Amino acid sequence: MSIKVTQIPGPKVEEIAREERELLATSTKCWDTPAGPVEAKGIYFRDKDGNVLMDWTNGMVVILGHNHPRWNESVIDQINKFVYFNGPDFVYDVQKEAAKILTQITPGNWKKKVFFCNSGTEANEAAMKLARISQKKNLIIGFLGAFHGRTQGSLSVTASKSVQRKGYTSYLNNSFSVPYPYCYRCWYNMTYPSCDLYCIRVIERYFQHNLPPDDVAAFIFEPVQGEGGYIVPPQESFKLLKSILDKYGILMIADEVQTGFGKSGYMFASSYFGVEPDIITIAKAISNGLPMGATVFRASLDFKEQGMHSNTFGGNPLSCRSLIEVYNIIQEESLLKRVVDMGNYFKQKLYELMENSRTIGDVRVLGMLIGIEFVKDRSTKEPAKEIRDFVVKRAYEKGLLLLSCGQSVIRITASYIITQQEIDEGIRIIKEAVEEAEKLFL
Ligand SMILES: Cc1ncc(COP(=O)(O)O)c(C=O)c1O
C-alpha cells in the first residue's frame, strides 16, 4: 500500500462518524480525523472511501503493524485450537508461557508473579491494590501530568488534564501528585542540570509536611509521560526517586503501559533509567492490538487469599498466544535495534524540522517514543494548541494519521517495522503542514 488521498474524510467515513456520534458514549474520538479503516497492511490502511493513509498512531502501538504474516498465522492457529477459557480460573500452557516471559524480561532479579487483565487501567488498579494490601498503607503518590487510566482507582493518580477528574474529585482520595521532571516547562522554573533534580529531591520535604511516609504504600510513575506530552526526564531522575523511596520503605510502581515492550529501545524504559521497580504495569503493545494488560510484581507482594482480586478474560488464550509471538518476533527480527536505529533517524529529521520552523519549541525522542511540542513563540513557550491541531488535521488531509497529547504536542507512536523511506514521507507531510500553519497563524 502507499498513500493515496482524494476527498478526506469522504462521504462514507463521514457517515460512520455521524452514526457513531449517535451510538457511542462521548469519549476521546478524533472527529476531525475519523480514519474509518476497512483494511490495513503494515502501517497503512484503506478507508471506506478508498483513501490510503500512513498511520503513525498505530494503536499506540501495534508493534508489528497490521497483517504481520507470522503473527497472523500464530493467532489463527490459536483460534483453531481454543479461543476462550477463563484464565484466572483455569490453567493452560499459553497463559503459563506468557507469564514466564514477563517474569523473565522485566527488570529485577527476584521471584515475580503476574496478574493478567484486559487494559492498562486495570493493570494499574491491580498494582495499587497489591501495594495497599501488602504494605497495609493507603496513600499512593504520583506525578502531575501523569496518565494512569480513567477507572476510579487509576483516576486518583491521573493528573494529566483536569477534565479527566472533573466531577469525580470527591470520589478520588488517598493519593497525591507532585511535579514531574518536565525540563522544557520546569514547574519550579529551574534549569537542568543546575537544578540538581530539585523536583525529585523536594519530595522528601512533602514527607515532612503533608505526606507521612509511614502512610505511603507506593509511588507510581510513567518513565516517559505519554498522554501528558511525551516527556522524557533526565536519565538519573528515577534512580534518585528510588533511593528516596527505599529510604522510607515505599514501593515503586512503573506504569509502562505506554513505554513497555521495546518502545524506548529497551524492553522496558525503566532499564534506560536504571531502576528496578517493585511492580511494573504493561498493556497496549504487548499483544499487538488484542486487548491485554499485565501487572508484574515481586512475588512477596501477592494477595494472601483466593478471590481478593480476579477477572474474567485476563490471560485469555488468544492474547497470551499473541504476546508470546510478539516477544519472539521482537527477538528474532532484532526489533529493539530497529527501534533505536529508526528512533535516531526520526530524531535527526525532526531536529532539522525544528531548526527550520518557528513554532516547534521542543522535540523529544527516546527510542520511538517521540513528541513534537508546538509553541506560539519560542522565547515565551506559550503552548500553540491551535497550530498543533491544524498540523494534525492537514497531515490527515495529506494522508498521514497522527495523534496529539499534552497541551500542544504531537506524539508519534509508529510500529517498529517503519522504514526510513516511510519516515521521510511522513516528515515531508508534517513539514508542509507546519509551513501552512505558520503562514496562517503567525
Ligand atoms: C501510561 C498509561 N497508563 C495507563 C493507561 C490506560 O490504559 P487503557 O486505556 O488501556 O486503560 C494509558 C492509556 O493511554 C497510559 O498511557
Q: Give pLDDT tens digits for 247-291.
A: 999 999 999 999 999 999 999 999 999 999 999 999 999 999 999
CA dihedral of residues 101, 103, 105, 111 (deg, nearest 10): -140
146 and 243 assigned to the same domain: yes
The one-letter amino acid code at 64 reads: L
Nearest alpha carbon, ligand 1 atom 8: 120
For 143, the enclosing helix (H) or strand (E) is: strand 139-143
pLDDT tops 80 at residue 60:
no
133 and 268 assigned to the same domain: yes
Q: Which regions of 158-257 does DSSP assign to beta strands (E)?
A: 175-178, 216-221, 251-255
Report the domain count for the chain.
Answer: 2
45 and 105 assigned to the same domain: no
32 and 121 assigned to the same domain: no
Tens digit of each residue's pLDDT (9 = 90 or more) over 304-332: 999 999 999 999 999 999 999 999 999 99
322 and 353 assigned to the same domain: no
pLDDT tops 80 at residue 102:
yes
Ligand 1 midpoint to CA 147 (Å): 7
Assigned domain for 74 exists: yes
**What CATH number corresponds to the domain at position 39?**
3.90.1150.10
Ligand 1 midpoint to CA 121 (Å): 6
Assigned domain for 1 exists: no
Give the residue, out of 257, 290, 403, with the most ligand 1 atoms within 8 A of its beta carbon, to mutate for a pocket test: 257
pTM of the predicted model, to two decimals? Answer: 0.98
Provide the total of helices (H) and of strands (E) in the chain, helices listed first.
13, 15
CB 283 within 8 A of CB 123: yes
199 and 141 assigned to the same domain: yes
294 and 304 assigned to the same domain: yes
Range of the domain at 147: 70-332
Ligand 1 midpoint to CA 158 (Å): 10
3-state secondary structure of 221: strand
Assigned domain for 171 exists: yes
296 and 349 assigned to the same domain: no
Q: What ranges in 144-188 are assigned the alpha helix state H? A: 152-155
| Ligand 1 nearest atom to the CA of residue 226, by list position | 16
Please tell me what DSSP assigns to residue 25: P
Nearest alpha carbon, ligand 1 atom 4: 148
59 and 154 assigned to the same domain: no
343 and 326 assigned to the same domain: no
Give the span between the Cα atoms of 147 and 255, in whole angstroms. Answer: 9
Tens digit of each residue's pLDDT (9 = 90 or more) over 407-421: 999 999 999 999 999
Closest alpha carbon to 34 in 54, 17, 52, 55: 17
- Report the pLDDT value the prediction gives residue 62, as an integer from 0 to 100: 85
Tens digit of each residue's pLDDT (9 = 90 or more) over 348-381: 999 999 999 999 999 999 999 999 999 999 999 9
Give the span between the Cα atoms of 321 and 7, in whole angstroms. Answer: 40
Examine the fold and report which residue of 332, 362, 395 is the final residue of a domain before the chain moves on. Answer: 332
